[in-house]
Amino acid sequence: MQIFPRELNYLPLALALVSGGLGAGVFILFWVYFTPSNLQVGYTPKQPVDYSHRLHAGELGMDCRYCHSQIERSHEAMVPPTQTCMGCHAIVHTESAKLAPVRESWETDEGVPWVRVHQVPDHAYFNHAGHLNAGVGCVSCHGRIDQMEVVGVVEPLAMQWCLECHRNPEEHIRPKSEVTNMKWEADEAWLARRAEVASALNPPLHCSGCHR
């Protein structure tokens, strides 16, 4: 007498198919949603001091290089030291409660604990000066900083995103004199010679270009 129905012979196959489907679903979920464009873009950490880029870079028109003074020489932009802030605020808004952490930093000689916003993975090498000296504007990677009250991530900073620019750098480059100009727009003269300038850059596409 047969105790179990014959259909149960297909149970292992059904379980295998269901497990495979669930595994594929989980893989696709992670592949689509757990990517830099979803995890990084929009990251806007709260800083210890309410520093407004909209005010400083936008309304006051301060050049990025006043605070990030090494961007054309260093591989990283570097957070400005307290001395840079006090260059103005030793005489401007000297009693502001918002600037208390800056004044404390100045008096104690301990840096303000700024929270890093843009973070390139340790296994990737990025030369900030190299990109600026090639004519890549700040806007291409950081967006309109001059319109941001609080700076956040606007681009994924992922390998695919970087490679897209390396393969087609033409639309991202501008005259070197305009790299920090947030409002710059290409004119006919620049558009006429942009392709020629881009062809001379030859950005690396091989692994060792960014993984050293």
Residue 40 DSSP one-character state: T
Which residues have C-beta within 8 Å of that of residue 127, sequence separation ≥ 6?
A: 75
pLDDT digits (tens, 9 = 90+) for 155-179: 988 899 999 999 999 999 999 999 9
Question: Number of structural domains, the chain?
Answer: 1
List beta partners, residue 136. Answer: 173
Instruction: Confirm whether 135 is domain-assigned.
Output: yes
pLDDT digits (tens, 9 = 90+) for 99-131: 999 999 999 999 999 999 998 888 899 999 999
- CA dist., res. 174 & res. 134, Å (int): 9
CB 203 within 8 A of CB 133: no
**Is the predicted pLDDT of residue 57 greater than 90, yes or no?**
yes
Q: What is the pTM of this model?
A: 0.78
- CA dist., res. 211 & res. 22, Å (int): 34
By residue range, what is the domain housing residue 137?
39-46+116-209
Instruction: Confirm whether 159 is domain-assigned.
Output: yes
